[in-house]
Structure 1
Amino acid sequence: MERKNLLLVGVSALIVVVIGCSSKEPATPVAPTSPSSSAPDGSTLKATPPSPQSPINDQQLTTAQVMLVTGASTAQFADGVPLQYRFQVFNAANVLVQDSGVVGGTSWPVTATLQGRQRYMWRTRAEYQGAFGPWSPVVSFIAAETALVFDPLTNGTTVGQQRGGFFTGQGWQSGARDSGIDYDIPTCSSCTVEFDITNIGKGEGVCCNADLIFLSMADAGSFAGFGPFRDTPWKMHLKQRADGDGTGFDIVWRNGGVGGGNPGDHRIKVPGGGPDYRSSSVFHFVVQWSEAGYNISVGTDGGPQVQYMADGFGGIPYSPPNHRVSLGCYPRGESFPSAIYRNVKISKNQ
């Protein structure tokens, strides 16, 4: 009887031990169960900060699509936890441009519209069941140029069609009156052309008894020679006048017709009072047009833009087929031989 009772007590004790051993202590939870357990940085998820991989270090992007890629975060004290991620993009003024929301992977495509050649910053963090880990370090990139054309001309080459001239350390120099660079773009009835020009003085055309041309546009076929360019209903050319004080302008901008009226020549002559042209200065030209009309402004040595000419199109758009924009005007032999161009940009108006 005594032996039977002892065996019963032993079996009971063994059962208690087995039950006790099978009831493991739970692992430290990945996410704290109360706000009071948040970290000093405010995070509530025990995970490492992700490590951004691309784009970083002010990388200049070459395509409009921006894909943010980060290294994975690691959850502490728990393996195999399906972490999610949040990405945030900021502009140079530190204003939030886009928040991804919670995404399932370590990469995310930015869908917000970014301004070309502007600096953006981004960061990311891991999230899980409403808790979030610490933010990654902030990294940056430069958005791709969104213009139809961007041509620095300071790198010894052009994205356009070069017709004579040569490159210097400052940009492309015409070298002759029949030189130019052509940019063929889709027909654009609302665009802006910008460029910098230097190494020009007042009344440059006095040398050759002509008003020399900064910029010209038309349908591409009209650049075949003097006559076709003269007669095209899409002719546009912007001149520096050689008479007067040598700073005046002369423009003809035809929006589909020739002569007076609308469509027509839209000609403006400014006898003087233009920019103070000096060979050591840099002049930034902005030529903008839309269905409503056009305006032309010039800034000097980084100063504010000054508008010199504007006219209306009466709602009849400037829309040449096979649209060509050209530096100078080689069909007329009226390009600036000494002028050095750089930073040519053609973009659609927003």
Structure 2
Amino acid sequence: METISTELKDHLILIKKVTEFDRIYKSLTTPTIHEIDEQIDLLKVSIKLKKHGLTQKTNKLIEEIKRKYGWQPFWTINAKPLTIDYFKNAIQIYVKSNTNLNDEIQFIKQGQRDRKSKLAKAIKEIRAPVALKAYVELLQGYMYLRTYRKNIISKAHYLHLPLLLEIGERMEMGEDVKLISYEEMINYLTKGDIVKQELIEERKQAWAVLLIGGKISIISGKFFVEATAKKYKIEDVQMQVSQKVVKGRPACLGKVTGKAKIIKKIEEFINVNQGDILITPMTTPEYVPIMKKVSGIITDEGGVTCHAAIVSREFNIPCLVGTGNATKIFKDNDQIQLDANKGTAFKI
């Protein structure tokens, strides 16, 4: 992104269009390919539900949507799949709206075409040199593959879960099986080696994976994790108690004021209202419905090609990413100002 920014600015100075930088930069860096299948599937079921009500057939369609998209939260194996109620609630929002749902489907599809058109027009307008065009093509491909990669990992976790829980049953430890390594599982299944319950209890407190010189070690228990972190000078980003201003990387420019909503899990989505500023560790695909409602987005993690950054540019929502500690600095319902033009956010 920095390379594109520099190359573009230099080129616009050369052709005397530097005042158009923000507009053209946004056209070049907004992803042209966006995951729209789930939204369209939800809209199609909503149309049927609006017409026929909740029937056996519409129930089956909702179950099918759950089967297709229930994996989305599984960025970690400790996640829970999206429930049928989650999808029913999402569908009910569409059903109760006054929007023409067929028009909404066409609007989404047209949006995809418009983004590609804007990119092509921007490149033609500035007569982009070969190097700049190559950087833009690489970025567009990377943004798509980054989301695709995360989705594949989430699907793998989701599909892997039944096998993991079956191993947990055989080891008579249920979901605690998530706290042991693959090596420990294999040793039990092939040699009958039992993982001590004391070790499991320690890992419930804290655990860490340490990689030094190519050797992997599992550190168990709060005391040993803290001691190891101290020994190797591994520290978390610590919040400054007196910190007033949060700083991050602008992903989509703009300046907004609104109520902070700290969201760390799906169950909290219901707390988000129109115009709030979403503050979260990171976003994943299931966040998209609430991202459409908010006036601004701030994340602890991520860079300018992370999910939050990509979606914010898609919907033109001011966004700050990679702040490190926004979820610790702000509290629910704080009135805050997000100035993505300056890369800052603060309580007012």
TM-score computed with the length of structure 1 as normaliser: 0.24
- The structure in which a higher percent of residues are helix is 2
Greater RCO structure (CA 8 Å; 6+ sep): 1
Structure showing greater radius of gyration is 1
- The structure in which a higher percent of residues are strand is 1
TM-score computed with the length of structure 2 as normaliser: 0.24
